[in-house]
Amino acid sequence: MTILIDPQSRLTVQYLGLQDFTEIWQKMQRYTAQRDSLSLDQVWFVQHSPIYTLGLNRKDVRMPSRDDIPVLAIDRGGKITYHGPGQLVMYALIDLKRKKITVRQLVSALENAVIHLLAQHHVIAMARADAPGVYVQDKKIASVGLRLKQERSYHGLSLNVNMDLSPFSAIDPCGYQGLQVTQMHDLEIHMSEQQIAAKLLESFAQQLGYQHD
DSSP state of 157: E
Q: Which residues share a beta bridge with 87? A: 160
Q: Is 37 a catalytic residue?
A: no
Rounded (5°) CA angle 154-44-188: 110
| Rg, Å, the chain Cα set | 16
Residues 6+ apart with CB under 8 A from 130: none
CA 208 to chain centre: 16
Biggest CA–CA distance in the chain, Å, is: 48
In the set 117, 146, 157, 174, the catalytic residue is 174
CA 213 to chain centre: 23
Q: Which residues are catalytic?
A: 174
